[in-house]
Structure formats: C-alpha cells, structure tokens
Amino acid sequence: MIRREEPNYIPIENPPNILIILLDDVGFGQADTFGGEIHTPTLSRLWDEGIAYNTFHTTSICSPTRAALLTGRNHHRAQTGSITERALDWDGYLGVIPKTSATVAEVLREYGYKTSAFGKWHNTPANETTAMGPFDRWPTGYGFDY
C-alpha cells in the first residue's frame, strides 16, 4: 500500500467555510432566494450571510455541468461532453474527468480544508460503481475526504 504524504498546505488565518450547491433540473429563478415562488429560507439565509456567485455556465445535462463546476474548466476540456453513460472515444467525450484537471476539492485540500460530496455524483462510469471499484473515479478519488 502506498501512503500519501500530507500536502504542504498554506495555512490561512480564519479560513471561510465554502459550500457549493448544484441542483439538477431546477431553473435558477424557481427559489424565492432568486426571485422565484418556491420558499427556500435556508438557502436565502446562506445567500444573505455569505458571498454568493450567481453566474455559471451550465450545460444541458448533469455530468458535464458537474465536471465543469468541479474542475473550473469547460466540460469538453474535462472530457465530459455528455453524461458518463454516453461516453465515446472522441476528444471531449470520454466521460472521465482526467487526473490532469484538478478538482476544487483537490485544490482546497492543499489549503488544509476537509471536503465532502453529498448526493448525486454521476461522474463515474457505470461499470466502476460497484463494491469492487475501482474507486479512483469516485468522489474520494477526486480529492473529497468523504
């Protein structure tokens, strides 16, 4: 077994908590936080008490949007031009985020953060989502602690 050394991270005095929320199949204007009709008091409180960014390039489907958000790259540069199950052997459509594209979790780890991913992942090929693994394309393989 190879033991990974703890990274030499840059300590930040009073680092902020970071929460990234990605919702599938929800229009931006549906929550009352953003002027919609659906009552979302917790989301509104988070918005009011923190810094919020409300412009983001989304794609028409989930896996590419997640890959873009996780890597900060265009979804084709993150090799996820379509959902993972529709992967092809074309550039930009391999369905697997390359290890050369660091994720936000990997970057935050370098600054001493602990990270978690909850909910739908949908960025691991279906034949790798069994108890047999491999686990390098699961959230923990992309820098998330949990």
Known catalytic membership, residue 57: no
**Residue 122 designated active-site:** yes
Q: Name the catalytic one among 39, 75, 76, 122.
A: 122
Q: What is the pLDDT of residue 9?
A: 59
Catalytic member of 57, 62, 75, 76: 62
pLDDT tens digits along 70-85:
999 999 999 999 988 8
Q: Determine the pLDDT at residue 2.
A: 40
Residue type, 136: D
Question: What pLDDT, on a 0 to 100 scale, did the predictor assign at position 1?
Answer: 38
Q: E-strand spans in 35-76?
A: none
Nearest Cα neighbor of 77 from 64, 89, 88, 86 is 64
Calpha distance 138→38 (Å, rounded): 32
List of the chain residues with pLDDT < 70: 1-11, 28
Do 59 and 52 contact (CB within 8 A), yes or no? no
Q: Max CA-CA distance within the chain?
A: 53
Ranges of each domain in the chain: 61-142
Sign of CA dihedral 98, 100, 106, 108: negative
The token duo for 136 is 């390098």
Tokens matching residue 95: 């369905």
Q: What is the reported pLDDT for 60?
A: 82
Judge whether 41 and 47 are in contact, CB under 8 Å. Answer: no
